[in-house]
């Protein structure tokens, strides 16, 4: 099954276009989980078990794991093993290097860390992307217009009168011969999001920036999908992972994802905004992590 079809299948099964970013920051976790890599795994385990049936993907950001050295890589491997096989993993590493190096990046991300999709920086051109594109059944999300303020420094510069982000969108659509490409477009740019959707063909859009970064869920859902006619994934992270620092963090995380799903469904069906969402409950008890003993007990290095 292609990466696009796999994504569409889980969106239909789980009735969700919400991707949960696994940006594990020990300083934001309940105190009993943030003091060790073992605790971080238990935190992630409980979040995954509480949300795996109501999200369409998980997006671990590699920086949050690389900061812990070898233990962090072990943590990432254990976390991706915990994610159900039918739920895609979008591994966010923003790779982009010459072909030989890119091949090793691709091998690592697709084979070692079980990614279905990876994020790619297109600055070095097609030959830096080709090793990723040659993986059958896998996909790439290409950075097009990111949600951070610094996106204006390069991504919005004009190239022969056309914004660079539009050139990236058009070129990626041309490279999408195997239907395995998508674009990263920040929710903080609604006008450009609409423009990019128009030139992106049938490529899925990965939309970060909803929630803590201030992007609108309504704009993102409607514009990224062209009113639900095209594929898109809306990424949320901090607003779900750290909905509370109390012991019921997993229950609260599930409730927040269900709230987002209900809001998207309301938009899809054109219901009024004041209609109450479906009740948010956890469908099954969250069991203690059975694999946590395989992680070391020594404290993890704090993230910067």
Measured over all CA atoms, what is the biggest interatomic distance in the chain, rounded to whole angstroms?
Answer: 58
- Write out the H or E segment, with its range, that includes residue 149: none
Residue at 300 is within a domain: no
Predicted confidence (pLDDT) per residue in 3-20, tens digit = 999 999 999 999 999 999
Between residues 120 and 99, which one has the greater pLDDT? 120
Q: What's the CATH code of the domain at 39? A: 3.20.20.70
- Output DSSP code: residue 109: I
Which residues participate in catalysis according to the annotation?
94
Residue at 24 is within a domain: yes
Count of the separate structural domains present in the chain: 1
| Cβ-proximal residues to 153 (8 Å cutoff; 6+ apart), any chain | none
Residue at 31 is within a domain: yes
Asked if 74 and 292 count as a contact pair (C-beta separation under 8 A), the reply is no
Residue at 303 is within a domain: no
Predicted confidence (pLDDT) per residue in 265-287, tens digit = 999 998 766 555 444 444 443 44
- From 105-114, 138-147, 279-288, the region with the lowest mean pLDDT: 279-288
Residue at 207 is within a domain: yes
Q: From CA 88, how far away is CA 3, in angstroms rounded?
A: 8
Query: pLDDT at position 285, please?
Result: 38
Tokens 């409607």 belong to residue: 222
Host domain of residue 272: 3-294
Residue at 299 is within a domain: no
- Write out the H or E segment, with its range, that includes residue 226: none
Query: pLDDT at position 288, please?
Result: 41
Query: pLDDT at position 290, please?
Result: 45
Q: Is the pLDDT of residue 111 over 80?
A: yes
Quickly count helices (H) and strands (E) in the chain: 11, 10
Predicted confidence (pLDDT) per residue in 42-85, tens digit = 999 999 999 999 999 999 999 999 999 999 999 999 999 999 99
Residue at 304 is within a domain: no
Q: From CA 147, how far away is CA 278, in angstroms rounded?
A: 30
What pTM does this model have?
0.90
Q: From CA 198, how far away is CA 9, in angstroms rounded?
A: 24
User: 192-201 burial string, b = 16+ CB within 10 Å, else e?
Assistant: bbebbbeebe
Tokens 């309504």 belong to residue: 218
Angle of CA points 302, 68, 303, to nearest 5°? 25
**Across 120-132, average pLDDT:** 96
Query: pLDDT at position 211, please?
Result: 73
Predicted confidence (pLDDT) per residue in 198-225, tens digit = 999 999 999 998 976 778 999 999 999 9
**Across 140-154, average pLDDT:** 95
Query: pLDDT at position 271, please?
Result: 72
Q: From CA 14, how far away is CA 23, in angstroms rounded?
A: 22
Residue at 302 is within a domain: no
Query: pLDDT at position 99, please?
Result: 84
Query: pLDDT at position 50, please?
Result: 98
The per-residue pLDDT of the chain, averaged, comes to: 90
């Amino acid at each position: 099954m292609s990466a696009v079809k796999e994504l569409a299948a889980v969106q239909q099964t789980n009735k969700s276009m919400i991707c949960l970013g696994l940006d594990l920051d020990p300083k934001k976790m309940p105190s009993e989980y943030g003091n060790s890599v073992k605790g971080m795994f238990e935190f992630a385990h409980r979040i995954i078990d509480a949300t795996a049936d109501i999200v369409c993907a998980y997006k671990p950001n590699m920086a949050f794991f690389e900061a812990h050295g070898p233990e962090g890589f072990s943590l990432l491997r254990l976390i991706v093993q915990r994610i159900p096989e039918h739920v895609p993993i979008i591994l966010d590493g923003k790779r982009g290097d010459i072909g030989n190096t890119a091949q090793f990046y691709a091998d690592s991300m697709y084979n070692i860390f079980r990614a279905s999709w990876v994020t790619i920086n297109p600055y070095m051109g097609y030959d830096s992307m080709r090793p990723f594109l040659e993986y059958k059944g896998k996909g790439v999300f290409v950075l097009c217009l990111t949600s951070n303020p610094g996106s204006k420094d390069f991504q919005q510069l004009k190239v022969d009168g056309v914004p660079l982000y539009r050139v990236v969108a058009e070129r990626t659509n041309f490279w999408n011969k195997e239907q395995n490409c998508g674009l990263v477009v920040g929710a903080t740019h609604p006008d450009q999001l609409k423009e990019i959707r128009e030139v992106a063909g049938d490529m899925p859009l990965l939309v970060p920036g909803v929630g803590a970064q201030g992007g609108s869920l309504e704009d993102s859902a409607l514009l990224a999908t062209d009113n639900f006619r095209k594929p898109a994934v809306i990424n949320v992270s901090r607003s779900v992972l750290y909905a509370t620092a109390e012991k019921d963090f997993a229950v609260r995380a599930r409730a927040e994802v269900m709230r987002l799903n209900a809001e998207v469904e309301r938009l899809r069906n054109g219901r009024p905004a004041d209609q109450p969402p479906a009740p948010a409950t956890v469908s099954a008890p969250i069991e203690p992590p059975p694999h946590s003993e395989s992680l070391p007990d020594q404290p993890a290095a704090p993230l910067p």
